[in-house]
Amino acid sequence: MPPATPDRSPAPAETDPPAETAPAAETDPRTESVPAASRPVLGRRPVLMVCVFVVLAATGARLWVAAAGWFYWDDLILHGLAARHAWPDPDLLFTDHDGHLMPGGMALVWLATHLAPLEFRVPLLQIALLQLVSGAALARMLWVLLSGRTVLLVPLTAALVIPLGLPAATWWAAALNALPLTAAMAWAVASMVLLARTGGAQHAVGAAVATALGLLFVEKAVFVPVVAAVVLLGGWWTTSGTRADLPTLWRRTRAAWLAQSVIVAVWAAVFLVVVGRLGGRGSFGAAEGTRPDFAALVDHTYRLAVAPTLGGGPWRWDRWHPGPPMADPPLAAVIAGAVACAAVLAWSLATRRRTGAIWAGAALYPLVSVVLVAVGRAGPDTAAEIVQTLRYHAELPVVLAAATALALAAPRRANAPRRSPTPRRANAPRPRNDPRRTHNAPTLGGWPAAGALGLVALLASSAVSTVTYRQTWAEQPSRDYVQPLLAALRDRTEPLLDKDLPPEVLLPVTAPAHRLSWLLSGMPGVPEVGAWTREPVVIDAGGTLWSADVVPGRTLPQGPEPGCGHRIGADGTRIELDGPLIGRDWVVRLHTFAEADGHVSVRLDDGEPAIAPVEAGLGTVYVRLVGGGSGLTVSPIGGLSGLCVGSGPVGVLVPR
């Protein structure tokens, strides 16, 4: 069972007892093993204050990185989706977003979109608050596992500074999944450990609520109860490992397991109804044979994603626009991470009992993400480098922190070095029969000194990776496009023709989110985006508007009636083009002569109709059409009984 290891400071009058009879730290009365106790370096209040400082500092650092970015990819997709809903109704909250069911995240997106459309301040505030909650939950978990001992600051600091969780915590859409997941996992672990120790019903409620809240943000929260169970069993294994304790452990925690099982079952039913598949667009079967090689995913995960970050790497990042940054570690970063892992493992196995299984479990956890990527992210364009974006491993620091805490709390080996529980006069010899007068006698060097130096090195290495990541993340083509565009549109009143966004912003695979109309949904003070305009423009990748005209692909020929061209009756008329058009977006420059104001419906043979207004007298309107064929059908509507249509081009817009 997870140990309770409070600080124990002997009174000044106490003598230094032999190692065999040293006061034991508190444990569960049903366990005989004694967890590793240490003389407190700081009192509980100073430790708490340092925890607060570490969490705030980590939040500030990640907010600094996030502020260098902007709305990216899924951010724009979710923003446009939320803008189409006046209220956060079930249709929005339970949207299948690329295989994700995230009603909690959708609610936060809706709030940000309607408070300040395309303003990044609200997403930054949400990232900061979620990071604070996640950091606080992690600190609580470590406080519970290590009973407030000063040493908890080591795994807390390491978990919050290593770049493993950096990308997911600084990209808004990813943070809406990852940060609630890490918070739920850490909170549930702590609550289950407290429940096992005390049997308090409030801890069962806390674990169940944490699981439920996690599932509101990401489906990966189904693993929260699993991680909590493994941590409980890990604590039992290191401190006791006897079967006699398992019935008591089960009796105290079974209500919580039942509650979490019901929550997961209900969520699974909803997920199957709403999403009905694993992963993103398309079904698993449709992508069969297109998934990246599983062995390659495992190799990239451990060698290029996880291992370098455990040493503070990767130090270097690569980016293939419009993709996110990817870890691109040099060989030195991989070696540094491997050395850090080996050092921690050597310390644990040399000084603590029965911790090998703990580290084995932690080492296997990244395979969960590998399997989910292999199954759920199948696609013809999926490469093994996807795991190097690190966002699929965002909760791994919580797992590693829990494993470290279990190792720190595990009983010491009989020959492991110990720190003296009372101060001793410098150079004072020990009694000849003192068992600590051996080669294992405690000194200021050894493991504690090595650990302190290692933590400093980790902080420095992580700082390098954080700075270089920020530099890469600051390259935001969406910001370079949208901000100048919004500024230019403030002075425009004429509608815009809908068009594809630059591929650096969103690719057509995200349809319909890759359209200008989706991007500008809900934006106040900008003109309408639709199917017609009288002042056509093209927009370059820098968001600049350029006056444009149609370069003909085909042409509407001059009609047979002098002074009119093609006379369009009330039932509409099909006009033959001078050649066929393939199916795609086209723009027709329509020259009209009407007796009254009204509207016309225009469509290609293989396309949907577009509606445009016409004015009495002569006029020109540019209409966007989607489709193909060899003819154009024009029909008067909106009280208009007929009109004349002259010759004009059908093609694409180019700057004048």
Q: How far apart are CA 383 and CA 177, in angstroms?
A: 22
* Percentage of the chain modeled with pLDDT above 90: 78
In the numeric block, the tokens 């069972």 are attached to 1
**Domain assignments of the chain as residue spans, ordered by start:** 44-71+118-280+292-411+450-471, 547-655
- Model pTM above 0.75: yes
The interaxial angle of helices 44-68 and 121-146, nearest 10 deg, is: 150
pLDDT greater than 70 at residue 357 = yes
Q: What is the mean pLDDT of residues 270-290?
A: 64
- 585 burial (CB, 10 Å; 0-12 / 13-18 / 19+) is middle
The CA radius of gyration of the chain, in Å to the nearest whole number, is 32
Which pLDDT band holds residue 281 (cuts at 50, 70, 90)? low
pLDDT at position 383: 83
* Summary count for the chain: helices (H), strands (E): 20, 14
Q: How far apart are CA 595 and CA 415, in angstroms?
A: 102
- Does domain 547-655 fall into CATH 3.10.129.10? no
pLDDT at position 14: 37
The interaxial angle of helices 103-115 and 121-146, nearest 10 deg, is: 140
Q: What is the mean pLDDT of residues 115-142?
A: 98
Which pLDDT band holds residue 8 (cuts at 50, 70, 90)? very low
Q: Are strands 643-645 and 566-568 parallel, antiparallel or unpaired?
A: antiparallel
Q: What is the mean pLDDT of residues 58-77?
A: 97
Q: What is the mean pLDDT of residues 607-631?
A: 95
- CB half-sphere exposure, 643, CA atoms < 13 A: 31
List CB contacts of 27: < 8 A, sequence separation 6 or more: 3, 4, 33, 34, 35, 239
Contact yes or no for 7/419 (Cβ under 8 A): no
Lowest-confidence pick of 25-39, 522-536, 545-559, 567-581: 25-39
**Looking at this protein, which amino acid is placed at residue 541?**
A
List CB contacts of 276: < 8 A, sequence separation 6 or more: none
Lowest-confidence pick of 10-24, 281-295, 446-460, 520-534: 10-24
DSSP code, position 86? S
Contact yes or no for 88/106 (Cβ under 8 A): yes
Which pLDDT band holds residue 244 (cuts at 50, 70, 90)? confident
Which pLDDT band holds residue 205 (cuts at 50, 70, 90)? very high
User: What SS3 class is residue 349?
Assistant: helix
CB atoms < 10 A from the CB of 320, how many?
10
pLDDT of 333-342, one tens digit each? 999 999 999 9
pLDDT of 405-453, one tens digit each? 999 999 998 766 555 454 444 444 444 444 443 333 333 345 677 778 9
Which pLDDT band holds residue 634 (cuts at 50, 70, 90)? very high
Which pLDDT band holds residue 639 (cuts at 50, 70, 90)? confident
pLDDT at position 446: 54
List CB contacts of 590: < 8 A, sequence separation 6 or more: 600, 602, 612, 620, 621, 622, 623, 634, 645, 648
Which pLDDT band holds residue 382 (cuts at 50, 70, 90)? confident
Q: Mean pLDDT across the chain, nearest whole number?
A: 88
Q: What is the mean pLDDT of residues 610-617?
A: 94
Q: Are strands 598-607 and 532-533 parallel, antiparallel or unpaired?
A: unpaired
Q: How far apart are CA 275 and CA 147, in angstroms?
A: 42
List 632's β-bridge partners, or say none. Answer: 575, 604
pLDDT at position 32: 37
List CB contacts of 29: < 8 A, sequence separation 6 or more: none
Q: Where is pLDDT greater, at 647 or 448?
A: 647
pLDDT greater than 50 at residue 151 = yes
pLDDT at position 193: 97
Q: What are phi and psi of 406, to 5 degrees?
A: -65, -40
pLDDT at position 42: 72
